[in-house]
Amino acid sequence: MVYVNDIEIATPSEALDDEALRQRACTELLRQRAQALGLLAADDPAPREGAVSEAASQAIEALLAAELAGPEPDEAACRRHYEANARHYAQGERVQVRHILFAVTPGVDVGLLRQRAEQHLIALRASDATAFTAAAQQLSNCPSGADGGRLGWLAAEDCAPEFARELFGRSEIGVLPRLLHSRFGLHIAAIDAREPGRLPAFEQVREAVAQRMRQQHQLSALRQYLQTLAADARLQGVALQQATSPLVQ
Predicted confidence band of residue 128 (pLDDT cuts 50, 70, 90): confident
Instruction: Label residues 114-131 b or e (16+ Cβ within 10 Å = b).
Output: beebeebbeebeeeeeee
138 strand-pairing partners: none
Domains and CATH numbers, the chain: 2-72+208-236 (no CATH), 92-195 (3.10.50.40)
Q: How far apart are CA 7 and CA 68, in angstroms?
A: 25
What's CA 230's distance to the chain center, in Å? 20
pLDDT digit string, tens, across residues 187-221: 999 999 998 888 899 999 999 999 999 988 988 99
pLDDT digit string, tens, across residues 48-76: 888 899 999 999 999 998 998 888 999 99
Scanning 104-201, the segments in alpha helix (DSSP H) are 110-125, 129-139, 161-167
pLDDT at residue 54, rounded to an integer: 93
Q: At what angle do helices 18-36 and 202-231 cross, to 10 degrees?
A: 80
Q: How far apart are CA 161 and CA 183, in angstroms?
A: 10
* Residue type (1 letter), 124: L
